[in-house]
């Protein structure tokens, strides 16, 4: 089918207004939050599941790829149309369909913004637990596809722990449910397989999520350190003492500089690292854990420990943490967010190695990360316009991921593999492992047309046709 014919068919399904083909319209969909750019050929914005199914069916007949897209905040190039085809935006499927507080669940469309769900139930004392730092912008469909985490993952788990069921559109336009309103449905856990599949198995059109009740008490500590080694040791000691904070987040001196230069919240600029420790639960138990965590921070060398006096102060600390990525723009024109993981006990060592890599490649690295999960986010600061700088950035990023794997960790904690990490997936999995994963993918997407050229190091499906080469830095394709 030629493109004109395809566009005509798509217009008949969703209406002319919601099929974009002009460069000035599609350019806003050429990138996500990563460094990868590919200009889309066609962007389609359906309004409901029937339209999604019809678009997907039409794409199959035309043998073109379909790249689902939520809010485009992904950091691994997942929503970038690496092989051309149709970018399928789920932004118009943005309704909260049902809130069922008695059963502690909600049914939402995939374009619902993460934070909007918590806002919708907050007055009743409930919240939706997965809280990526991008939660004011990212969509629940994108969270499902990437199995996203966030600062509060330490206590509550990642997205998969909060998804009960999914309505998905398969490659032939069939609409099916995986899981349901009750946990542990019999048979294979296909819901679990789908969560984290990064748009390579189908399109999520409805999500049944768990809602949680607000805790009786929430307290937040800020521990200020002159040595990164002491701060990382404190993380290991706090969890080693049996405290499971709701969040345990670290920011280094460069990140503090970014936050304080952008929208200051009062982090001390001369500190080497600050640690945010948030503890929730029943009042008495929370107070006991706060006292213990306070003492551990002091014993591990904190020069000062501050306990947020009230909700305003607590929110100010979190504003600094959640705005940290955005604030990087005050330090450099570009930054590349790396996302590796190590076992918590290896945090002191990996931070030493990241510092050495920063020196070796002569690149500033700002660290802001989910320390309690051992999930690093070294932000490599650079200037895309400087010749050769991007190559050095990619080499430094690879060195960090190699170090994570050497220390018993992994190449991604929560941002997914996408385009960015597919060159590194072989560090973790053998050909046999990848072959098994490909067969699972193929069971749901036989032609490999959903989000091709992602996740797997080589084309994963027999139907993949390279229509438009991706503008991807050398060295990332294997």
Binding site for ligand FAD (CB under 6 A): 32-33, 67-75, 78-79, 90, 110, 132-134, 138-139, 141-143, 145-146, 148-150, 198-199, 203-204, 325-326, 414-415, 451
Rank residues 159 and 220 by Cβ distance to ligand FAD and give the closer one. Answer: 159
Shortest CB 8 distance to ligand FAD, Å: 25
Instruction: Name residues whose C-beta falls within 8 Å of residue 262's C-beta, 6 or more positions apart in sequence.
Output: 323, 326, 327, 329, 330
Shortest CB 60 distance to ligand FAD, Å: 16
Shortest CB 62 distance to ligand FAD, Å: 19
Give backbone dihedrals phi and psi of 6, rounded to 5 degrees, phi first.
-60, -45
41 touches 77 (CB < 8 A): no
Shortest CB 201 distance to ligand FAD, Å: 8
Shortest CB 111 distance to ligand FAD, Å: 8
The Cα 393–Cα 382 span in angstroms is 7
DSSP code, position 1: -
The Cα 287–Cα 197 span in angstroms is 40
Greatest CA separation for the chain: 70
Other Cβ atoms within 10 Å of 286 Cβ, number: 18
| Cα-based torsion angle of the residue sequence 33, 35, 36, 39 in order, rounded to the nearest 10 degrees | 70
Q: Is 463 helix (H, G, I), strand (E, B) or coil?
A: coil
The Cα 89–Cα 108 span in angstroms is 16
Rank residues 305 and 425 by Cβ distance to ligand FAD and give the closer one. Answer: 425
Q: Is 116 helix (H, G, I), strand (E, B) or coil?
A: helix
Question: What are the C-alpha distances in Å from 452 to residues 7, 199, 391, 442?
Answer: 21, 9, 25, 12
Shortest CB 162 distance to ligand FAD, Å: 13
Shortest CB 30 distance to ligand FAD, Å: 13
Rank residues 257 and 339 by Cβ distance to ligand FAD and give the closer one. Answer: 339
Shortest CB 326 distance to ligand FAD, Å: 6
The Cα 183–Cα 161 span in angstroms is 10
Question: What are the C-alpha distances in Å from 132 to residues 238, 335, 427?
Answer: 23, 19, 26
Q: Is 235 helix (H, G, I), strand (E, B) or coil?
A: helix
Of 70, 48, 45, the residue nearest 142 (C-alpha) = 70
Rank residues 281 and 416 by Cβ distance to ligand FAD and give the closer one. Answer: 416
Cβ-count burial 15-35 (b if 16+ within 10 Å, e if not): eeebbbbeeeebeebbbbbbb
Shortest CB 250 distance to ligand FAD, Å: 13
- The angle, 0 to 180 degrees and rounded to 10, between the axes of the packed helices 3-14 and 49-62 is 170
Rank residues 44 and 75 by Cβ distance to ligand FAD and give the closer one. Answer: 75
Other Cβ atoms within 10 Å of 475 Cβ, number: 12
Shortest CB 341 distance to ligand FAD, Å: 12
Rank residues 34 and 232 by Cβ distance to ligand FAD and give the closer one. Answer: 34
């Amino acid at each position: 089918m030629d493109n004109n014919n395809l566009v005509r068919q798509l217009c008949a399904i969703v209406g002319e207004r919601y099929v974009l083909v002009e460069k000035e319209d599609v350019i806003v969909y050429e990138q996500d939050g990563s460094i990868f750019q590919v200009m889309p050929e066609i962007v389609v914005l359906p309004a409901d599941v029937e339209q999604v199914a019809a678009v997907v069916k039409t794409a199959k007949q035309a043998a073109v790829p379909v790249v689902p897209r939520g809010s485009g905040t992904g950091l691994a190039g997942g929503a970038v149309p690496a092989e051309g085809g149709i970018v399928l935006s789920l932004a118009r499927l943005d309704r909260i369909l049902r809130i069922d507080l008695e059963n502690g669940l909600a049914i939402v469309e995939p374009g619902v913004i993460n934070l909007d769900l918590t806002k919708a139930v907050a007055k009743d004392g409930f919240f939706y637990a997965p809280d990526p730092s991008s939660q004011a912008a990212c969509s629940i469909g994108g969270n499902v596809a990437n199995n996203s985490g966030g600062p509060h993952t330490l206590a509550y788990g990642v997205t998969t722990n909060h998804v009960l069921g999914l309505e998905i559109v398969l490659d032939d336009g069939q609409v099916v449910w995986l899981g349901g309103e009750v946990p542990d449905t019999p048979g294979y856990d296909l819901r679990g397989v789908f969560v984290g599949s990064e748009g390579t198995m189908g399109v999520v059109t409805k999500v049944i999520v768990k809602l949680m009740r607000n805790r009786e008490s929430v307290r937040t500590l800020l521990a200020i350190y002159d040595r990164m080694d002491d701060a990382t040791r404190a993380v290991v000691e706090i969890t080693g003492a049996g405290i499971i904070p709701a969040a345990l987040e670290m920011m280094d001196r460069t990140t503090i500089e970014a936050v304080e230069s952008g929208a200051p919240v009062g982090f001390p600029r001369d500190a080497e690292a600050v640690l945010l420790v948030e503890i929730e639960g029943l009042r008495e138990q929370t107070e006991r854990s706060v006292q213990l965590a306070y003492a551990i921070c002091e014993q591990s060398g904190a020069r000062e420990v501050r306990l947020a006096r009230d909700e305003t102060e607590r929110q100010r600390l979190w504003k600094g943490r959640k705005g940290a990525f955005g604030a990087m723009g005050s330090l450099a024109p570009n930054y590349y967010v790396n996302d590796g993981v190590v076992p918590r006990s290896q945090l002191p060592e990996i931070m030493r190695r990241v510092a050495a890599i920063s020196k070796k490649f002569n690149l500033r690295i700002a660290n802001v990360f989910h320390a309690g999960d051992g999930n690093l986010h070294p932000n490599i600061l650079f200037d895309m316009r400087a010749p050769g700088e991007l190559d050095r950035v990619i080499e430094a990023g690879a060195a960090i991921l190699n170090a994570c794997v050497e220390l018993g960790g992994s190449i991604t904690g929560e941002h997914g593999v996408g385009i960015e990490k597919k060159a590194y997936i072989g560090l973790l999995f053998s050909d046999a492992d990848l072959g098994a994963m490909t067969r699972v993918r193929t069971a749901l997407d036989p032609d490999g047309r959903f989000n091709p050229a992602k996740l797997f190091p080589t084309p994963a499906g027999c139907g993949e046709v390279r229509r438009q080469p991706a503008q991807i830095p050398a060295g990332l394709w294997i």
